[in-house]
């Protein structure tokens, strides 16, 4: 397989590793200082996967931008401090091995700050196994805009029709599907209906799913048709 022929693009939080409980806890700690809290449902529907500036604007609309930025940085410090040991989602290591043996390039596309992303990738043992790391907040627009995924494709020299994306959040699914990439919704936190409703072509529990490996084999053999990509 030509290394520029086929590409894989992964979200990080909730996709390669389940970190939702750590993020949720960090937000609750931050909000407690303002006598506020959020429910897990609110976190999953409105916060998970969104850009930090948008999250802080929603949580603290009365504060000036500089204050919201400081709170955002503090929340991420709380998150990083909570990381003890990270376990990759089932099937992640096998999929990375599959990609490496076929010289398939890999991008991680995330709205997480670079410090978070680099810490998590190192903890998962994946830092040296990806070809590029796309940080949404370092671009003019993060997810749910398709720009992060379009940037990932560009850096890998890939094409949307010969790529797969993996996402667990509504904003992430919208970003990847809007980039024209066949998107697998990962059911870490959201039900299948929500992932499909956001634009995912398929929904799977993790990377051991038979549907995923059928698609990979079809792409490798060149048997994926325009109809089957729709």
Question: Would residue 13 show up in a list of annotated catalytic residues for this protein?
Answer: yes
d(CA 218, CA 230): 15
Buried b (16+ CB within 10 A) or exposed e, 82-109: eeeebebbebbeebbebbeeeebbbbbb
- With a CB cutoff of 8 Å and minimum separation 6, the contacts of 198 are 170, 173, 174, 177, 185
Q: What's the CA gap between 22 and 170, in Å, rounded? A: 19
Active-site choice (5, 13, 66, 168): 13
Closest CA to 109 of 7, 12, 184, 206: 12
Candidate list 11, 18, 20, 145, residue with the active-site label: 11
Is 11 among the residues known to form the active site? yes
Residues taking part in catalysis: 11, 13
């Amino acid at each position: 397989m030509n290394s520029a022929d086929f590409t894989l693009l992964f979200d990080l939080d909730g996709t390669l590793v389940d970190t939702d409980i750590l993020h949720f806890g960090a937000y609750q700690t931050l909000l407690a200082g303002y006598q506020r809290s959020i429910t897990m449902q609110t976190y999953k529907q409105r916060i998970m996967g969104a850009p930090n500036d948008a999250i802080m604007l929603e949580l603290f609309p009365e504060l000036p931008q500089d204050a919201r930025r400081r709170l955002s940085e503090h929340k991420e410090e709380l998150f990083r401090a909570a990381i003890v040991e990270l376990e990759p989602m089932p099937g992640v290591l096998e999929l990375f091995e599959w990609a490496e043996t076929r010289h398939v390039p890999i991008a991680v596309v995330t709205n997480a700050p670079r410090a978070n992303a680099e810490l998590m990738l190192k903890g998962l043992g994946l830092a040296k196994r990806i070809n590029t790391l796309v940080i949404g907040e370092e671009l003019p627009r993060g997810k749910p805009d398709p720009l992060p995924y379009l940037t990932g494709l560009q850096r890998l020299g890939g094409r949307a029709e010969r790529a797969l994306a993996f996402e667990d959040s509504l904003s992430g699914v919208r970003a990847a599907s809007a980039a024209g990439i066949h998107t697998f919704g990962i059911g870490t936190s959201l039900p299948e209906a929500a992932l499909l409703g956001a634009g995912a072509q398929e929904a799977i529990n993790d990377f051991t799913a038979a549907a995923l490996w059928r698609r990979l084999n079809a792409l490798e053999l060149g048997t994926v048709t325009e109809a089957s990509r729709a």
